[in-house]
């Protein structure tokens, strides 16, 4: 078998014992993946970073030199007589897998090893650039160094290793020196590597990760961005804030993008908008960029949570279900219907409307779901749960704020976000799947905005689901979404297999699938709305996830500029991020800011 690349002399390179590609489980963080020269990858991106060909600049060593500004890289000690010096990379994905290579025809006696190469320039400023360029030649990947690993003395060389993350490139473009590139979970790395020296590298990597708090470090880079579209030199706190804003704005954008085609089949969408389907706003409800009931109810969910916080701070006792029920009653009023509360409750609704209810554009009826309307029209039962057996997507579509809200509580964990979303979904949806899908979605949002990869967040959600009776439908849907994301390149067919999105587990699965396979925000939400089914809800859910993953900066400005209630949505996101710092409390001195907050979100 001929390699796709020629050697440095321009000669063909013959591979004597070629590898078989193994790409079926590309997105499975527990799987070992094998990529061969020129292979077609089953996904456009992994962990939010696109695969795209990259060529180093002509003056690569100069341009890349001294890239990493760290204090823990020691000076190189004297080499032994005749010993050569090399540098290499341990390129690690956020999902915990590491890129390693199989040298062509077992060159150097290695079957599998880390990318590395000898240093031509002895000045320390070229150590790192040499490692980056050698890694690109052997893996096809453009990497960025984020930390120091250590030095390993081999038989004739000393190799200095750096920890790195992938920024671009594609393993299919590996150079002639490699006949395969592999993606290997860290837990399986020792058994995959055949050299005792590489086992030492694994020990050093584990030690380095422990020193960095168990996660990949993410140092600043002037003017640069990471694969999520977020600035690397921004503090984690600011990245989290951007994720909050991205989550709510992204959901609204997906909602508005799907609104014009909510009741159209995929065939009708393609006939009306062309072979690519709908890729930009189109008129719905009188204008392009209008939101629907999905975003309206999402905002009122956020209001319920924030008013509960205010009530708890000022009175000491508060029920999320009770206060959010009244928030949903205010939404019902915006739809032109009377509330189903007693006279005291109606007094509270009228006397303390709060800021959100006063936003007049929210007083528009945008095809609200019958289940939500009927449940909210009905006087609340003593146990607080809806008296129906519905598992429609109206419960899951509105709970992204739960994940955001819980993410800002130091004492809250993933299970708390799950449980709270289940309780709020139960206000309108009686079927376990309608509630548990909401819990799973809120947990995904919680994990992602706190820095987890979507793959890790899914594992957490699946584990949590199995603790609850009636979880089977939701768990099966999530597992199917993951399986299809690993195997399918035919996105419309995969989405069709997941369903139409009118029920909770299908809407959740479609959103997860689109987020897993998306190369960027636009790609993901566009996939989520061009199908047979509930396009605005699947678009909203996918937009929530993608916005949380990539941050607000990744959302195209043309979509934000035309988005209805953009400023209101962004302000609610800011409030969800900032509420723990509000100057409120029974024994906290009264301030103008505190009075403003209590008027904005009265505790009732």
Positive or negative: CA dihedral 118, 122, 127, 130: negative
Quote the Cα angle for 167-170-172, to 5°: 165
**Rounded CA gap, 348 and 325, in Å?**
12
- Residues 522 and 513 sit within 8 Å (Cβ to Cβ): no
- The reply, when asked if residue 95 is annotated as ligand binding, is no
Question: Comparing C-alpha atoms, which of 402, 481, 394 is closest to residue 431?
Answer: 394
Positive or negative: CA dihedral 367, 368, 371, 373: negative
- The reply, when asked if residue 120 is annotated as ligand binding, is no
**Rounded CA gap, 492 and 546, in Å?**
18
What is the 3-class SS of 240-283, one letter each residue? HHHHHHHHHHHHHHHHHHHHHHCCCCHHHHHHHHCCCCCCCCCE
- The reply, when asked if residue 203 is annotated as ligand binding, is no
- The reply, when asked if residue 77 is annotated as ligand binding, is no
- The reply, when asked if residue 151 is annotated as ligand binding, is no
**Rounded CA gap, 426 and 372, in Å?**
11
Task: Please state the φ and ψ torsions of residue 559, each to the nearest 5 degrees.
Answer: -75, -40
Residues facing residue 2 across a β-bridge: 14
Q: Is 32 helix (H, G, I), strand (E, B) or coil?
A: coil
**Rounded CA gap, 128 and 160, in Å?**
9
Enumerate residues 6+ apart whose C-beta is below 8 A from 264. Answer: 272, 535
**H/E element holding 508?**
helix 504-517
Measure the CA dihedral 404/408/414/419, to 10°.
Answer: -70
**Rounded CA gap, 559 and 252, in Å?**
10
What is the 3-class SS of 40-71, one letter each residue? CCCCCEECCEECECCCCCCCHHHHHCCCCCCC
The residue written with tokens 């390129």 in the block is: 91
Enumerate residues 6+ apart whose C-beta is below 8 A from 392. Answer: 369, 371, 429, 434, 502, 503, 504
- Residues 422 and 439 sit within 8 Å (Cβ to Cβ): yes
Task: Please state the φ and ψ torsions of residue 79, each to the nearest 5 degrees.
Answer: -80, 155
Residues facing residue 86 across a β-bridge: 118, 159
- Residues 263 and 532 sit within 8 Å (Cβ to Cβ): no
- Residues 198 and 125 sit within 8 Å (Cβ to Cβ): no
- The reply, when asked if residue 308 is annotated as ligand binding, is no
C-alpha gyration radius of the chain: 26
Binding residues: 292-294, 534, 536-537
Binding residues for Mg(2+): 292-294, 534, 536-537
């Amino acid at each position: 078998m001929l390699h796709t690349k020629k050697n440095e002399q321009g000669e063909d390179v013959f591979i004597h014992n070629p590898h078989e590609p193994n790409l079926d489980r590309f997105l499975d963080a527990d799987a070992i993946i094998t990529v061969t020269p020129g292979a077609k990858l089953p996904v456009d991106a992994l962990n939010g970073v696109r695969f795209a060909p990259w060529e180093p600049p002509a003056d690569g060593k100069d341009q890349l030199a001294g890239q990493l500004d760290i204090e823990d890289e020691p000076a190189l000690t004297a080499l032994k007589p005749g010993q050569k010096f090399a540098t290499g990379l341990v390129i690690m994905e956020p999902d915990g897998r590491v890129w390693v290579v199989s040298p062509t025809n077992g060159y150097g006696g290695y079957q599998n090893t880390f990318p590395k190469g000898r240093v031509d320039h002895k000045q320390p400023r070229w150590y790192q650039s040499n490692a980056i360029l050698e890694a690109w030649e052997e893996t096809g990947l453009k990497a960025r160094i984020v930390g120091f690993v250590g030095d390993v003395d081999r038989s004739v060389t000393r190799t200095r290793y750096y920890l790195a993350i992938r920024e671009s490139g594609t393993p299919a473009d590996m150079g002639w020196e490699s006949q395969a590139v592999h993606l290997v979970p860290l837990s399986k790395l020792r058994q995959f590597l055949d050299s005792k020296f590489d086992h030492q590298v694994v020990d050093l990597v584990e030690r380095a990760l422990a020193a960095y708090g168990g996660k990949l470090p993410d140092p600043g880079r002037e003017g640069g961005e990471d694969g999520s579209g977020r600035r690397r030199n921004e503090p984690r706190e600011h990245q989290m804030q951007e994720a909050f804003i991205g989550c709510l704005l992204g959901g609204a954008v997906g909602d508005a993008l799907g609104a014009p085609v909510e009741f159209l089949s995929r065939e009708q969408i393609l006939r009306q908008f062309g072979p690519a389907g709908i890729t930009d706003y189109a008129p719905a409800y009188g204008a392009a960029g209008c939101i629907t009931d999905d975003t309206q109810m999402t905002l009122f969910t956020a209001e319920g949570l924030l008013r509960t916080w205010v009530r708890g701070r000022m009175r000491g006792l508060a029920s999320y279900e009770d206060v959010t029920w009244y928030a949903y009653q205010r939404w019902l009023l915006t739809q032109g219907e009377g509330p189903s509360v007693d006279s005291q409750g109606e007094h509270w609704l009228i006397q303390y409307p709060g800021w959100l209810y006063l936003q007049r554009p929210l007083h528009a009826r945008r095809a609200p779901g019958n289940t939500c309307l009927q449940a909210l029209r009905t006087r609340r039962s003593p146990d607080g749960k809806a008296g129906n057996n519905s598992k429609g997507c109206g419960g899951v579509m509105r709970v992204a704020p739960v994940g955001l809200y819980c993410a800002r509580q130091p004492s809250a964990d993933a299970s708390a976000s799950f449980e709270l979303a289940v309780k709020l979904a139960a206000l309108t949806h009686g079927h376990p799947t309608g509630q548990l899908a909401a819990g799973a979605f809120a947990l995904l949002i919680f994990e992602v905005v706190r820095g987890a990869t979507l793959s890790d967040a899914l594992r957490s959600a699946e584990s949590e689901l199995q603790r609850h009776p009636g979880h089977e439908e939701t768990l099966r849907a999530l597992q199917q979404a993951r399986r299809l994301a690993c195997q399918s390149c035919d996105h419309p067919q995969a989405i069709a297999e997941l369903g139409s999105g009118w029920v909770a587990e299908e809407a959740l699965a479609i959103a997860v699938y689109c987020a897993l396979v998306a190369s960027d925000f636009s790609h993901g939400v566009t996939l989520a709305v061009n199908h047979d089914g509930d396009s605005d809800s699947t678009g909203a859910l996918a937009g929530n996830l993608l916005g949380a993953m990539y941050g607000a900066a990744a959302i195209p400005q043309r979509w934000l500029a035309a988005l209805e209630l953009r400023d209101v949505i962004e302000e609610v996101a800011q409030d969800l991020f900032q509420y723990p710092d509000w100057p409120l409390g029974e024994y906290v001195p009264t301030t103008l800011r505190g009075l403003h907050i209590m008027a904005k979100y009265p505790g009732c």
